[in-house]
Amino acid sequence: MQTFFLVLSVIGFGLLLSTFRILREYDRGVIFLLGRFYKVKGPGLIIVIPFFQQMVKVGLRTLVWDIPTQDLITRDNVSVKVNAVLYFRVVDPQKAIINVQDYMEATSQLAQTTLRSVLGQHELDELLAARVRLNTDVQEILDKQTDGWGIKVSNVEIKHVDIDESMVRAIAKQAEAERVRRAKVIHAIGEFEASKKLVEAATQLATQPESIQLRYLQTLTEIAVDKNSTIVFPLPMDLLHSLKKTTDKE
């Protein structure tokens, strides 16, 4: 008899302990009463009536999930491998437990298919240069589709875009050709601006013949400084004419 009471005491004590649960600040307990949803409890000390109530604990902290490498073909028919990181958390524990069997698995599978679908609609150049916009597009689509599961997708970050070595060489050649093109355009613009200035200078000199003579003498002076050899040059008659006019005026 004493053994029987001892067993009952142990069972009663165990049931009493199982009645009281302690949930941390980032945990919630989804309570079912006889199989039907009752309420969400926590955090802190909560009471779960044994045999009549069951509790499913749900964490509310942000979860980080590494999306496995996905093989996809871009809109310009380039085969690439892409992987990303997904950040999400549960905002409605009731929906996360009732509306989907396994919200972790469901969110991960949806992230993989959405990543392939969204990135496959863009060209390779966009995957390499417009990651911020693509991250936002994937995040918004996932957040909208997981809303019914009580999930909030806060961020999606594309980590790596891997392409074949032959494509890497092609991209390098394309970049080099682009740099050469820009250099030629800049040189052509410089030549065009220089020609405009030369035309303006010629027009200005044509209005004052004395300026041409001064420029001629300045050029000769520069040549004499740079070269140590003897230089023989013709003396323009219009220069003498201009000097004679200046002397006569004096």
**Segments making up each domain of the chain, as ranges:** 8-59, 63-163, 170-249
Band of pLDDT at residue 180, cut at 50, 70 and 90: confident
Please give the pLDDT value at position 198.
Answer: 74
Instruction: Say if residue 41's pLDDT is above 60.
Output: yes
| Alpha carbon distance 174, 180 (integer Å) | 10
- At residue 59, the 3 state secondary structure works out as strand
Distance (Å) of CA 236 to CA 92, 212, 217, 240: 96, 11, 11, 7
Instruction: Say if residue 249's pLDDT is above 60.
Output: no
Q: What is the pTM of this model?
A: 0.66
Task: Answer with the residue of higher pLDDT: 125 or 83.
Answer: 83
- At residue 62, the 3 state secondary structure works out as coil
Please give the pLDDT value at position 163.
Answer: 83
Please give the pLDDT value at position 192.
Answer: 83
Band of pLDDT at residue 62, cut at 50, 70 and 90: very high
Please give the pLDDT value at position 246.
Answer: 53
Mean pLDDT score, 115-128: 89
Torsion of CA 100, 105, 109, 114, to 10 degrees: 60
| Alpha carbon distance 123, 74 (integer Å) | 5
Going by the DSSP 8-state scheme, the letter that residue 124 receives in this structure is H
Instruction: Say if residue 239's pLDDT is above 60.
Output: no
| Alpha carbon distance 100, 145 (integer Å) | 12
Relative to beta strand 44-47, strand 36-41 is unpaired
Band of pLDDT at residue 108, cut at 50, 70 and 90: very high
Please give the pLDDT value at position 97.
Answer: 94
63-163: CATH number: 3.30.479.30
Mean pLDDT score, 134-147: 94
Mean pLDDT score, 159-169: 76
| Alpha carbon distance 172, 180 (integer Å) | 12
Band of pLDDT at residue 238, cut at 50, 70 and 90: low
Instruction: Say if residue 190's pLDDT is above 70.
Output: yes
Q: Which two tokens stand for residue 45?
A: 């000390």
Whether residue 96 contacts residue 174, with contact meaning beta carbons closer than 8 Å, is answered with: no
